[in-house]
Structure formats: structure tokens, C-alpha cells
Amino acid sequence: MLLASNARSSFSISPAAAGHLLSAGSDWDLVLSFAHYSGDFYKLLNREERQALLLLADGFGDLRGYRGRGRADMLADWSHVRDSSEAAVTRMAGAIRQWVKAYTK
């Protein structure tokens, strides 16, 4: 799940907004709206949630187990998301859908 077990969000999403968000567009559109700084929902993610989402991308390879130098820079580089495989985009979109459902009130 995208949410860290200790992460808390200070907002909620209405069922109507969640339904619209989850049914509109492609997986890529959903990822773009949350992961890109110009996305409509970028600011809804807290730091831990955004990092968890970016770790699902694979544009620079699978960084989930990588702890080496430059990891933070790679996660902050948009091309890590942009150049991700279709499978990674699907993983990211799935995580976003789980996250939206968790915060729907």
C-alpha cells in the first residue's frame, strides 16, 4: 500500500471527488496528476507518500532496494517517472487508487 503505516494526512476526499478521480483518464494521467509538480493533486501527498510513490517508478531501474549515493536525486528527477515501464505506471496508479480509497470519507 502507498500509505506508510505511520503516515497521517490532514485532509479527506469526498466520495464524489474520489469516484471522479478514479474513473477519469488513463493510469498515466492519474500518475501525472499526483507525481508531477504541476499535477492537480501533487500537493495532496505528504513527503512520505510521494517518496513511496516515486519508489514504484522504474525509469532509472528499481530503486526500492537501492540505498547508494544519488538515490534522492534520482527520485527527484522527473525522468525517473516519465521513462518508467508500463508495468511501473500501473503499479503507481494502483497505489494511488489505494491511497484515494483510504482517504475517502
- Which grid cell is 20? 471522479
Question: Does residue 89 lie within any of the structural domains?
Answer: yes
- Which is more confidently placed, 17 or 9? 17
Question: Does residue 7 lie within any of the structural domains?
Answer: no
Name the residue type at position 45: L
Asked if the model's pLDDT at residue 7 lies above 60, the reply is no
Count of domains for the chain:
1
What is the C-alpha separation between 25 and 48, in angstroms, rounded? 25
Question: Does residue 18 lie within any of the structural domains?
Answer: no
What is the C-alpha separation between 6 and 25, in angstroms, rounded? 30
- Which grid cell is 16? 464524489
Q: Which pLDDT score, from 0 to 100, does residue 3 have? A: 43
Taking only the tens place, the pLDDT of each residue in 10-34 is 567 778 877 777 776 899 999 998 9
Q: Which pLDDT score, from 0 to 100, does residue 4 have? A: 44
Nearest to 27 by CA among 97, 93, 95, 81: 93
Question: Does residue 42 lie within any of the structural domains?
Answer: yes
Predicted structure pTM score: 0.77
Question: Does residue 75 lie within any of the structural domains?
Answer: yes
Question: Does residue 12 lie within any of the structural domains?
Answer: no
Nearest to 50 by CA among 98, 103, 91, 4: 4
- Domain of 93 in residue numbering reads as 26-102
Q: Which pLDDT score, from 0 to 100, does residue 90 have? A: 96
